[in-house]
Amino acid sequence: MMSYPYQINSLEAYHKAWNKSVDDPEGFWGEVASHFHWKKPWEKVLEWNFREPSVKWFQGAELNITENCLDRHLADKASQPAIIWEPNNPEEHHRLITYAQLYAKVVQFSHVLKNNGVKKGDRVCLYMGMIPELAIAVLACARVGAIHSVIFGGFSAQSIADRLQDAQAGFIITCDGAFRGAKDIPLKSVIDDALVSCPFVQRVIVYTHTRTAVSMIKGRDVWWEDEVRKVETAGNPDFPAETMDAEDPLFILYTSGSTGKPKGVVHTCGGYMVYTNYTFVNVFQYQPREIHFCTADIGWITGHSYIVYGPLSAGATTLLFEGIPTYPDAGRFWDIIDKFKVNILYTAPTAIRSLMAFGLGPVQNKDLSSLRVLGTVGEPINEEAWNWYNENIGKGNCPIVDTWWQTETGGVLISNLAGITPSKASYATLPMPGVQPLLLDEKGNEITANNVTGNLCIRAPWPSTLRTTYGDHDRCRTNYFATYPDLYFTGDGAYRDENGFYRITGRVDDVLNVSGHRIGTAEVENAINMHAGVVESAVVGYPHDVKGQGIYAFVIYSGTHGDESMVRKDITATVSRIIGPIAKPDKIQLVSGLPKTRSGKIMRRILRKVAEGELENIGDTSTLLDPGVVQEIIKGKI
């Protein structure tokens, strides 16, 4: 018997499903959605136009996603682990949280939120490490109908403040600190710095994890444990899940674009639930009781969709790992896989490349025979890394799914289905049912031939299409739906081979992908320009062996403070302070001018060539205001 009625089990079934999803999207998704728990059924499956844009799935339906992730599993999975948590320090105990326990904890924390004034529609910011309490807090927000905004632990106080202000988030859930490898990151202290400019924040709930000393401000800050105790004293009453409209927002997740300001991507309850579950079950071909290990951080979309909502709505066991792949040594992932007999490993190419660099020593003497499926996400995977993963981790027995998608898409859009549809090294391959990719040329014409490269667009909505960018709908329109009329523009380029398989070639806009982290060049430039001695800067990406892309900054510096190496360090510290350590430039070249056109536009094409080391092939510089500046930049290349 099939475990999920909508799980695709053959290549033929895939083609059938895809065709049906295109011919009759409402019939197709209506059928899939009928396997979920709705408080009230929908009146219409889909209504949309990409001009506004307006995308509405399952209109009129009411639900709460946590009833699908928790309550409905209590009948047959109460004692099955929902979450396995592996701490940063392998000497410490792991935790197993069953569905019954997770349900109880989420109910309990829902009361805590309510007791602290959180209501449906309120924005709640979560800034925590990778501990079960983060998942519990996410689910409790969803249960009370609050909109969560999880901020990755590597962002600075300034970045947090920007996000809090944008969302007008009145509530924060954080920890004293987080462990990451040998580091202990003082999260609450970073929050305290952020809150200097956010007087509208009325409550900060602090979970004790690292036992780092923290300041607790009377009237504003409370301890998680104290608040939970109050609920226990009240006898742990049940918490009926708030009734949500299918199109009510579920969460905001900030991501970088080509402007300096991160965008708050908004996903809604119904469509996001259906699509993350559907893709989880189909891409990984999840089988009941298997252990799914996604190594992403819940601070990114991959963690939202494939650690929390997709797996839990499917009644899966999801493994949450607090640490990093190289601590205490480069065998950490493989030890975890053996310890828990992990069946599915979903990780980023950057992690694979960094582990490859340690050679085969850390993989030898590891069993890894529990693995059935391997996955990658976040950036293009080069063939060498794909082969290494396939041979040394999958031992040639595990299909690799190369999943292409974005924060904005909510779930996987292009990927092979493990063991069902063919895979090809460095190709994401075929679209998921419901997804219609197409390639466009520079002029906006569709390219219908195969063996071509173009700008990747999607023709019609899938259930977890982003609905808006928080507080600025027009920004959503201009960013994603205005470049090509009636199409969603991904910002990525892609190649399509003779079989119609897609290979993502990378961003075609000013967005960098550094170790799978999405960073806007304009954001980094803004941060560099905050440094007192900086006149102007231009940031481009360059190929980096481990990170995929590195950050190369060209900086006009007029300050007099310190020698060049000190200036570079100061600039790096500034970026770290303004955005966070993830955006630190790998290379900073001080220059006296930047290549500009007569109208004052920086010619990044030239800077990209320099950063990539293509010095012989710089291209036409005749339209530059001062072509001489290019020679100087070439001479000073790092």
The single residue listed with the structure tokens 């600025």 is 472
Please select the residue that binds ligand PRX; options are 129, 177, 491, 520, rule is CB under 6 A: 491
Q: In angstroms, rounded to a whole number, what is the distance separating the alpha carbons of residues 474 and 480?
A: 10
Nearer to ligand PRX, 108 or 354 (CB): 354
**Footprint on residues 358-377 left by ligand PRX (CB under 6 A):** 377
The DSSP line for 522-535 is HHHHHHHHTSTTEE
**H/E stretch holding 8:** none
Q: Shortest distance, CB of residue 265 to ligand PRX, whole angstroms?
A: 8
Contact, 540 vs 608, CB < 8 A?
yes
Q: Shortest distance, CB of residue 516 to ligand PRX, whole angstroms?
A: 7
| 515 belongs to the binding site for ligand PRX (CB under 6 A) | no
| 309 belongs to the binding site for ligand PRX (CB under 6 A) | no
Please select the residue that binds ligand PRX; options are 176, 492, 510, 523, rule is CB under 6 A: 492
**Distances in Å between the alpha carbon of 102 and those of 110, 125, 336, 612?**
12, 21, 22, 49
Q: In angstroms, rounded to a whole number, what is the distance separating the alpha carbons of residues 282 and 259?
A: 35
Please select the residue that binds ligand PRX; options are 518, 547, 596, 609, rule is CB under 6 A: 518
Q: In angstroms, rounded to a whole number, what is the distance separating the alpha carbons of residues 127 and 206?
A: 10
Nearer to ligand PRX, 30 or 580 (CB): 580
Q: Shortest distance, CB of residue 254 to ligand PRX, whole angstroms?
A: 10
Q: Shortest distance, CB of residue 190 to ligand PRX, whole angstroms?
A: 21
The single residue listed with the structure tokens 């954001």 is 523
Q: Partners of 266 in the beta sheet?
A: 252, 468
Nearer to ligand PRX, 187 or 428 (CB): 428
10 Å Cβ neighbour count for 500? 11
| 557 belongs to the binding site for ligand PRX (CB under 6 A) | no
Q: How many residues of this chain interact with ligand PRX, rule: CB under 6 A? A: 23
Contact map string, positions 395 to 434, toward ligand PRX, x by CB under 6 A: -------xxxxxx--------------------x------
SS (H, E, C) 161-229: HHHHHHHCCCEEEEECCEEECCEEECHHHHHHHHHCCCCCCCEEEEECCCCCCCCCCCCCEEEHHHHHH
Nearer to ligand PRX, 270 or 380 (CB): 380
Q: Shortest distance, CB of residue 518 to ligand PRX, whole angstroms?
A: 4
| 153 belongs to the binding site for ligand PRX (CB under 6 A) | no
Single out the residue of 539, 531, 494, 530 nearest to residue 512, CA to CA. Answer: 539
Question: Among 37-45, 48-56, 501-509, 587-595, which window interacts with ligand PRX (CB under 6 A)?
Answer: 501-509
| 524 belongs to the binding site for ligand PRX (CB under 6 A) | no
Q: Shortest distance, CB of residue 252 to ligand PRX, whole angstroms?
A: 14
| 435 belongs to the binding site for ligand PRX (CB under 6 A) | no
Nearer to ligand PRX, 193 or 497 (CB): 497
Q: 95: exposed, middle or buried (C-beta count within 10 Å: 0-12, 13-18, 19+)?
A: middle
Nearer to ligand PRX, 21 or 376 (CB): 376
For 65, the 3-state DSSP assignment is helix
Q: Shortest distance, CB of residue 374 to ligand PRX, whole angstroms?
A: 13
Q: In angstroms, rounded to a whole number, what is the distance separating the alpha carbons of residues 131 and 154?
A: 15
| 126 belongs to the binding site for ligand PRX (CB under 6 A) | no
Question: Among 334-342, 351-359, 499-507, 530-538, which window interacts with ligand PRX (CB under 6 A)?
Answer: 499-507
Backbone phi, psi, residue 575, to 5°: -65, -40
Question: Among 16-24, 150-158, 163-171, 502-510, which window interacts with ligand PRX (CB under 6 A)?
Answer: 502-510
**Footprint on residues 224-263 left by ligand PRX (CB under 6 A):** 255
Q: Shortest distance, CB of residue 511 to ligand PRX, whole angstroms?
A: 7
Q: Shortest distance, CB of residue 310 to ligand PRX, whole angstroms?
A: 12
For 79, the 3-state DSSP assignment is coil
Contact map string, positions 272 to 301, toward ligand PRX, x by CB under 6 A: ----------------------------xx
Backbone phi, psi, residue 11, to 5°: -60, -40
Contact map string, positions 46 to 65, toward ligand PRX, x by CB under 6 A: --------------------
Nearer to ligand PRX, 127 or 254 (CB): 254
Q: Shortest distance, CB of residue 542 to ligand PRX, whole angstroms?
A: 16
Polymer length in residues for the chain: 638
Angle at 49 between CA 45 and CA 50, to 5 degrees: 125
Single out the residue of 281, 216, 516 nearest to residue 379, CA to CA. Answer: 516
Single out the residue of 402, 268, 413 nearest to residue 347, CA to CA. Answer: 402
Nearer to ligand PRX, 255 or 479 (CB): 255
Angle at 17 between CA 15 and CA 21, to 5 degrees: 115
Q: Shortest distance, CB of residue 208 to ligand PRX, whole angstroms?
A: 31
Q: Shortest distance, CB of residue 581 to ligand PRX, whole angstroms?
A: 17
| 123 belongs to the binding site for ligand PRX (CB under 6 A) | no
With b for 16 or more beta-carbon neighbours within 10 A and e for fewer, the 205-231 pattern comes to: bbbebbebebeeeeeebbebeebbeeb
Q: In angstroms, rounded to a whole number, what is the distance separating the alpha carbons of residues 21 and 27?
A: 8
Q: In angstroms, rounded to a whole number, what is the distance separating the alpha carbons of residues 73 and 67?
A: 9
| 549 belongs to the binding site for ligand PRX (CB under 6 A) | no
Nearer to ligand PRX, 188 or 503 (CB): 503
Residues near ligand PRX, by CB under 6 A: 255, 300-302, 377-380, 402-407, 428, 490-492, 504, 506-507, 513, 518
